[in-house]
Amino acid sequence: MRNRRRKEVEAKKRVKRSVFFTLGVLIIIYLFITLIFGENGLLKYIKLEAVKEDVQAEIKGLEKQNEETKKQIEAGREDPNLIEELARKQGLTREDELIFKFKDGQ
């Protein structure tokens, strides 16, 4: 009788251990999948890092372009002919001027 009771208790303990072990493994698998593939997971982080690098490169390019524009503005303040040259390149004219555009070979 005691052996039977002891075996039943041991069997219940084994079942409990199996259930807890299975639940633990499932939780670990879920956490791992969420960590890698989740909304804020590792793959998303890697993609965002690549986007961040692209944006930083674009910012550096724009800062360089901004510095060049500032230099042109300063040069334009010192040299009025430069302003006119830049305006001509943009297709701007003085009052009462006409622009004639010719096709190549005519």
pTM above 0.85, yes or no: no
Spatial distance between the Cα atoms of 53 and 42, rounded to a whole number of angstroms? 17
Question: Is 91 or 31 the better-scoring residue by pLDDT?
Answer: 31
Segment 30-71, tens digit of pLDDT: 999 999 988 889 999 999 999 999 999 999 999 999 999 998
Domain of 83 in residue numbering reads as 40-91
Same domain? 28 vs 54 = no
Number of domains in the chain: 2
57 and 77 share one domain: yes
Query: What is the C-alpha to C-alpha distance for residues 13 and 83, in angstroms, rounded to an integer?
Result: 90
Q: What is the pLDDT of residue 16?
A: 92
